[in-house]
Chains A and B, each alone.
Chain A
Amino acid sequence: MKLIKLTNISSAVLVLQLLLFLSACSDGSMEGRILLTEVPQNGSNEIGSNNHLKVEGARIVALLPGGNTAVNLTENFISAASPAVSYDGENMLFSAKKESTDHFQIFEMKLSSGKVRQITSCEEDCTNPIYLPLGRFAFIREVASEKVKNSNAVFTGMLDGTNIQQVTFSPQRFSSLTALNDGRILSLVKTVYPEEGAPKLLVMRPDGTKLELFYKSDVGTQLCSGAVETSSENLFFVEGNDTESRVASVSYNLPLHSHKIIMEGEKNAFLSLGSYLDDRLLLSYKKTNSDNYILGELNPVDGTIRELYKSEGYNVIGAVLVQAYQRPKNLPSEVQPLEHAGLLLCQDINFLGIESLKNESEKAQKIEILGIDSTLAVVDVEDDGSFYLKVEANMPFRVQTLSADNKVINGPGSWYYIRPNERRACVGCHTGPEISPFNKQPLAVTKNPVIIKNNSELKLTKNTKDYEH
Chain B
Amino acid sequence: MSIKRKKLLFVPGFVLVIGLLIYFPGRKHAREHVNLMTAVEDHPLKCASCHLHMIDKGPIASWLNADYYSPLNMAISRDGNTLYVVAQDANELMVVDALKKKVIQHIPVGKYPHSVILSEDGASAFVSNQWADNVMIVDLASASVTDTIPTGNGPSGLSLSIDQKYLYVVNTFSSDLTVINLERKTEVKRLSAGNNPTGIALSPNGEKLYVSSRRAHMVPYGEPTITDVTEFNTSKNRVSATMEIDEAYLMENMAFTPEGDLALISLIRPKNLVPMVQVERGWMMNHGFGVIEQTGQQRIIQFLLDEPNSYYSDPFDILVSNDGKRAFVSSSGVNRISVVNLDSIRSLLQNYPEEELDYLAFDLSFSRHYIEKRIPTGASPKGMVISADGSRLYVANQLDDQVGVIDLNTFENLDPIDLGGPKKLTVARKGRQLFVNAGGTFQNQYSCYTCHPDYHEDGLVYNMAGKDMGRNVTNVQSLREINHTAPFKWNGKNESVYKQDGMRFSTVLTRTEAFSFPDLDALASFILTGIKNPPNLMYNPSGELTAAQLRGKEIFDRTVDNYGNEIPEKGRCVTCHPSPYYSNFSFEDVGTLSESDDTIKFDTPHLNNIFASAPYLHDGRAVTLEEIWTKYGGRDQHGVVNDMTKMQLNDLIAYLNSLGSAELEAKEQEVLKAEIKN
A residues at B contact (CB < 8 Å): 133, 182-183, 210, 212, 252-258, 329-334, 343, 345, 347, 354, 357, 388, 423-427, 433-442, 444-449, 463-469
Q: How far apart sit A238 and B503, CA to CA, in the bound complex (Å)? A: 39
Q: Which residues of B contact A436 (CB under 8 A)?
A: 269, 271, 281-283, 286, 306, 362-364
Tell me the chain B residues, 485-515 only, with Cβ under 8 Å from chain A. 489, 491, 493, 500-501, 503-509, 511-514
What separation, in Å, do the CA atoms of A257 and B363 have in the docked complex? 12
Residues from chain B with a CB closer than 8 A to the CB of A424 are 277-278
Are A434 and B468 neighbours in the complex by a CB distance under 8 Å? no
Interface residues in B, total, Cβ within 8 A: 62
Are B308 and A255 in contact, with the CB atoms below 8 A? yes
16 A-B residue pairs with CB within 8 Å: A212-B280, A329-B512, A332-B506, A332-B512, A334-B507, A347-B274, A388-B469, A436-B282, A436-B306, A437-B281, A441-B274, A442-B274, A444-B470, A449-B469, A464-B467, A469-B501
Q: Which residues of B contact A354 (CB under 8 A)?
A: 356, 359-360, 363
Asked if A435 and B363 sit within 8 Å, CB to CB, the answer is yes
Could you tell me if A423 and B465 are in contact, using CB atoms closer than 8 angstroms?
yes
Which residues of B sit under 8 angstroms from A465, Cβ to Cβ?
467
Q: Is the CB of A333 within 8 A of B507?
A: yes
A437 touching B274 in the complex, CB below 8 Å, given contacts A182-B443, A468-B508: yes
Contact of A434 among B247, B363, B467 (CB under 8 A): B363
Q: Given the interface contacts A433-B280, A435-B362, does A467 sit within 8 Å of B442 by beta carbon?
A: no
Beta-carbon contact of A467 and B507 below 8 Å? yes
Q: Digit string of B272-302 for contact with A (CB within 8 Å is 1, else 0)?
A: 1111011011110010000000000000000
Complex-state Cα separation, A214 to B225, whole angstroms: 31
A-B pairs with beta carbons under 8 A, tally: 173
Q: Mark B382-422, 1 if CB is under 8 A from A, else 0.
A: 00000000000000000000000000000000000000000
> Could you tell me if A469 and B504 are in contact, using CB atoms closer than 8 angstroms?
yes
Chain A residues with Cβ under 8 A from B282's Cβ?
436-437
Q: Given A253-B310, A332-B503, A435-B281, A441 and B364 touching (CB < 8 A)?
A: no
**Of the residues A331, A423, A448, A464, contact of B275 by C-beta under 8 Å:** A423
Q: Is the CB of B365 within 8 A of A463?
A: no
**Residue B224 interfacial (CB < 8 Å):** yes
Q: Across the interface, do B277 and A343 meet the contact criterion of CB distance under 8 Å?
A: yes
Question: Which residues on B sit within 8 Å (CB–CB) of A425?
Answer: 274-275, 277-278, 283
Interface contact B467-A466, CB-CB below 8 Å? yes
Q: Which residues of chain B from 470 to 492 have a CB within 8 Å of any chain A CB? A: 470, 472, 474, 489, 491
List the 4 closest A-B pairs by CB distance, nearest first.
A445-B470, A436-B282, A423-B277, A468-B466
Residue pair A439, B273 in contact (C-beta under 8 Å): yes
For residue B561, CB closer than 8 A to chain A, the reply is: no
Alpha-carbon distance A199/B518, docked complex (angstroms): 43
With A331-B511, A357-B356 in contact, is A257–B368 under 8 Å at CB? yes
Query: Which B residue's beta carbon lies closest to that of A333?
Result: B507
Chain A hits for B281, CB < 8 A: 212, 426-427, 433-437
Would you call B359 and A437 a contact (CB within 8 A)? no
> Which residue of A256, A423, A434 contacts B469 across the interface (Cβ within 8 Å)?
A423
Q: Which of B218-276 contact A (CB under 8 A)?
A: 221-222, 224-225, 247, 269-275
B196 located at the interface, meaning its Cβ lies under 8 Å from any Cβ of chain A in the complex = no
C-alpha gap A256/B469 in the complex (Å): 30
Question: A447 vs B493: C-alpha distance in the bound complex, in angstroms?
Answer: 26
A348 to chain B, nearest CB (A): 11
* A423 and B278 form a contact (CB under 8 A): yes
Residue of B with least CB distance to A328:
B513
* Cβ A255 vs Cβ B309 within 8 A: yes
Q: Which residues of B contact A357 (CB under 8 A)?
A: 355-356, 359
Q: Which of B270, B309, B360, B512 counts the most chain A CB atoms within 10 A? A: B309
Q: Are A332 and B514 in contact (CB under 8 A)?
A: yes
| Min CB–CB distance B375 → chain A (angstroms) | 15
Q: Does B307 sit within 8 A of A, measured CB to CB?
A: yes
CA distance A466 to B39 in the complex (A): 14
CA distance A438 to B270 in the complex (A): 10
Q: Is the CB of B272 within 8 A of A439?
A: yes
Smallest beta-carbon distance A70→chain B, Å: 37
